[in-house]
Amino acid sequence: MIYAKGLNKSYGDHHVLKDLSMHVGKGEIYGFIGKNGAGKSTAMNLFAGLAGFESGECFIAGNATSMNFQKSGKVGYLPENPGFYPYMTGLEYLLFIDSMFKRKNSAAQTNAAELLETVKLSDDAYRRIGGYSRGMRQRLGLASVLVGDPELLLLDEPSSALDPEGRNDMVNIIKDLNRQGKTILISSHILDDIEKICNRIGILHGGHIHLETDLTDLDDKYLPPSYQAVFEKDPSPENIATLKREPWMANMETENGHFIFHLKQTDESKLLMLKKLGEMNLAVQSLFRKKSTLEDFFLRMVNKNE
């Protein structure tokens, strides 16, 4: 659905995107992450056909991007701060958007009502948008981009203005839309949400994609393994010092009385750890691998690159 190769975009002397290349396959939920100022919103504008680029190529839903390609209705774009007519009600706004698709009024009314129900705004359908909270406007914005039933959704920080309950609702809505066959590119600083819903991620850093990967590959391919151990009797200071000196140990720390072993990323590090614990006669009560979060991964990758 999205194919970009070697995209370059500058604002004056500021080179925002530098040979940006990425691919989002049909049916995916792709997490687009990066630090503030990395160029995510700029890239979104390019994909939506709202801005041009100096060089490279970009195809969206099989079409080369241009300032007018979104008129096909294949793409729905929700910017971080969507704009509305505050004097309209939520229902009136969706009917106004629907008028561009020239549907019969009865079909438009049904569609608008269903979309308001989807984003949990049915009770506020006749309330003026000027009285909506930021979170309500964000949900109305999502409903508005769904009016034309697009194949591809570009969502820029869709849950940034929502409370925890609203964020959870947004996550479930996005999952449902994906199950209906929609391809979704989502940019968000809330990495916990990205981790819950995305199939793949791309880290934008330095104007280009620093890394693309399946989320299922994070632990096995990119993050050193970490294990949490509980012993029947706490190791002595001498034992702790010995463990810290082991060549397979990257770092060791304690957390709420538990011992956390951060191992070096080698195939044999776990076996060497178990062998050493046995040699030291340390009776293990429990030992399990700690799952790293996307935030752990992101911070490690960005800091390493810098």
Please report which confidence band the pLDDT of residue 267 belongs to, taking 50, 70 and 90 as the band edges: confident
The region of weakest confidence among 50-59, 198-207, 246-255, 286-295 is: 286-295
Fold held by 2-215: Rossmann fold (3.40.50)
pLDDT (mean) for 196-216: 89
DSSP for 140-153, please give it: HHHHHHTTT--SEE
165-201 core/surface letters (b: 16 or more CB in 10 A; e: else): ebbebbbebbeebbeeebbbbbbbebbebbbbbbbbb
pLDDT for position 68: 45
CATH topology of domain 223-305: Alpha-Beta Plaits (3.30.70)
Mean pLDDT of the chain: 88
The span from the CA of 244 to the CA of 241, in Å, is 5
- Spell out the domain ranges in the chain: 2-215, 223-305
Cα–Cα nearest to 187, from 46, 83, 283, 6: 46
Q: Above pLDDT 90, what percent of the chain? A: 55
DSSP 47: H
Per-residue pLDDT tens digits for 112-135: 999 999 999 999 999 999 999 988
Paired with 251 in beta bridges are 262
d(CA 170, CA 190): 12
More confident of the two residues 165 and 296: 165
Q: For helices 134-145 and 105-118, what crossing angle results, to 10°?
A: 130
pTM surpassing 0.75?
Answer: yes
- Residues 133-173 have pLDDT tens digits of 988 999 999 999 999 999 999 999 998 878 888 888 899 99
Q: How confident is the model at residue 303 (pLDDT cuts 50, 70, 90)?
A: low
CB-based contact 156:80 (threshold 8 Å): yes
Count of alpha carbons within 13 Å of 53, Cβ hemisphere only?
A: 29
pLDDT at 70 over 60: no
